[in-house]
Chains A and B, each alone.
Chain A
Amino acid sequence: MTRLAPTGEATLGPFFPPRYVDEGANDLTVCGGRKAKGGAIEITGRVTQVDGAPLDNLIIEIWQPDAAGIFGHPADPRHAQADPDFFGWGRVATDRDGNYRFRTIRPGAPQGRIPHINFMVMYSGLMRILKTTMFFEERADPVLDLVDSRKKLLIAKTEKPGHYVFDIRLRGPGETPFFDD
């Protein structure tokens, strides 16, 4: 059977409708008015380009498992036990200074992985979605281990307990490692 080629990607462009960044879409601690299980954390960061200039109105999406490390998706063998009040996807737009902010639940370790949060970056000038992963600490992990000398750039800094900082540099010094699948 012939497989179809996936449709070509294209840039989000500069005109992604502001109303698509729904109010509360960056707060994963609640869903439908119900609180998710686990410890609430905050993730903030700044997104910059080659010259260090901050990028505003850039779209970030995240995907993660619940506090027990279970994904709310049928491919996870433990999916029936997933927290029904946790929806592991969120979206945010950066502000004028390139800053973003998510509130979420500290994810548990999924099978075979250490705790992490998947990130996608979409923006004008990005012809393809950029994919990266934020980790909480440097330990053995089949994805983190693929990154050589730049591993530390994927580990969030602890600003204070429960507040992590994950800056994203699209190009230039301290460039964030991005993945290709």
Chain B
Amino acid sequence: MKTLIQPRDERTQPARIIAGYPQTPWRNPEQPLVKRSPTLSELTGPVEVARRVKLLGGDIAGHGGQQAIGQLIHLRLRVVDEDGAPVGGAVVELWQANAAGRYIHPNDDDHAPVDANFYGAARAVTDETGLLELRTVKPGAYPVPTRDGWWRPPHIHFSVFGKVWLSRLVTQMYFPGEPLNEQDRILNAVPDAQARSRLVAALVTPTREHTNALVYEHRIVVRGHQATPAQP
């Protein structure tokens, strides 16, 4: 039952300060972080988060006359721990722009149109195999107000509650084959190319039940493992 947490390979995690992302040097600590060995306090965490927050389901594309505009996608998201073991019962929060690249948020004053049938927020729980099936539309790209031509590639934000406090994860998922992926300052803040490629979903062959949607698969690995490391 005990979940262990060990330091991550830094190359798999993004730089904290990014050239061309002006907010990063304003808000990230200047002092070195204090290295800590986790105690029980950090190796426990909220279970059944739905006791505190309202679940919204995983189908946010709308139906019939209320279907959102854009390319319908079916996303099979799988949440596992560092052993590859499924993390069932994990609350996952998704948020994304609409097909035109616009968020429903007071901070988004972009000129791209709002879609009356798309809010862009799903909150649901993984099943016992760690799987969460989501139905949405592919988000559009949008310009970042930096005045130097940085556009965010299509991406979906995820917030995931793992088994313990230190498993908590906020990440973004990208789409394969998008030219903007190559220049994105957030995706490319992760130094390791393989770690970056794991942030990109895989397009898979649609199954018979999803003939009207492109099907993507994506795996999220939250921190924590159970296995004892093998002795050398």
Contact = CB atoms under 8 A, between A and B. Distances in A.
A65 B46 CA distance: 10
B44 A25 contact: no
A72 to B, nearest CB: 7
A7 B82 contact: no
Interface in B148-167: 157, 159, 164-166
Contact of B83 (A3, A24, A129): A3
B84 A4 contact: yes
Nearest to B230: A1
Interface stretch (B47-55, B62-70, B175-183): B47-55
A142 B39 contact: yes
Interface residues of A, number: 76
A75 B2 contact: yes
A146 B42 CA distance: 15
A146 B36 contact: yes
Given A6-B221, A143-B36, A171 B27 contact: yes
Contacts of B164: 73, 75
Interface string B1-15: 111010111001111
Interface in A106-140: 110-113, 116, 118, 120, 122-131, 133
Nearest to A127: B14
A interface, over-half SS: loop
B151 to A, nearest CB: 14
B41 interface: yes
Contact of B25 (A12, A50, A72): A50
Contacts of A150: 31
Contacts of A4: 80-84, 221
A84 B9 CA distance: 38
A29 to B, nearest CB: 12
Contacts of A120: 165, 168
16 contacts: A3-B227, A5-B198, A7-B221, A11-B186, A20-B53, A31-B52, A65-B41, A76-B44, A110-B40, A110-B41, A112-B39, A123-B27, A171-B29, A171-B30, A177-B34, A179-B36
Interface of B: 1-3, 5, 7-9, 12-16, 18, 21, 23-31, 33-47, 49, 51-54, 56, 80-84, 93, 95, 97, 103-108, 119-121, 123, 157, 159, 164-166, 168-172, 186, 189-190, 195-196, 198-199, 219-223, 225, 227, 230
